[in-house]
Structure 1
Amino acid sequence: MIRLNIMLLVAVLASALYLVHTQYESRRLFTELDRATVEARRLETEHQRLEVEKRAQATPLRVEKLAQGKLNMRTATPAITQYVADPLAGAKP
């Protein structure tokens, strides 16, 4: 009888320890999931902000201003256009 009681006590203690471990792991995983969710929201917000900034940077007017200002480019007109003939266009293979 004593042996059975000791075995049952050990089984109850093992079960209790396993339950405590499982609850601790569950709480740890929930906290990790919550942190990941917050990080995902932050990254999504940053991604949206960067998309808006990218669209603002790529407007045709801004690109044209940069091309004229920094690269000294100008629009092509018939007066400054030079046409070059391909020397290999007339040769047959």
Structure 2
Amino acid sequence: MARLNFVLLIAVVFSALYLVRTQYESRRLYVELEKASAQSRKLTTEKERLQVEKRAEATPLKIEKLARDRLQMRTTTPAITQYVEYKTAPAVQKASHE
């Protein structure tokens, strides 16, 4: 009988240790999940901020200013415009000798 009580005591101790370990692991994983969720929210906010900034930078006035300042581009005028005409060669007519 003492041997059975000892085996049951060992089983209860191992089961208690396993329960403690499982609870610790679940708490650790929960903390990691919360950290990942916070980082996800932070990245989502950053993405939205960058999209707003991108839309603000893509306005026609900003693009025109950038083209003038950095690329030294200018608007076109009829004085500097060259028109190119494309003329096709006359089509060769096939003689139908049937």
| Partner residue in 1 for 2:89 | 90
C-alpha change, 1:73 and 1:91, in structure 2 (3 Å) is farther
C-alpha deviation, 1:77, in angstroms: 2.3
Aligned residue in 1 for 2:18: 18
Please give the root-mean-square deviation of Cα atoms over the aligned residues, in Å.
1.7
Cα distance 1:85–1:68, how it changes in 2: closer, same or farther (>3 A)? same
Paired-residue identity, %:
62
In structure 2, distance between residues paired with 1:91 and 1:19: 92
**After the TM superposition, which residues 41-56 of structure 1 pair with which residues of structure 2 at under 5 Å, given as runs?**
41-56=41-56
Question: Size of the alignment, in residue pairs?
Answer: 91
Counterpart of 1:65 in structure 2 is 65
Task: Tell which structure's C-alpha radius of gyration is larger.
Answer: 2
Calculate the TM-score normalised by the size of structure 2: 0.82
* Matched residue type, 1:30: Y
Query: Structure 2: which 5+ residue stretches go unaligned?
Result: 92-98
TM-score between the two structures when normalised by the length of structure 1: 0.86
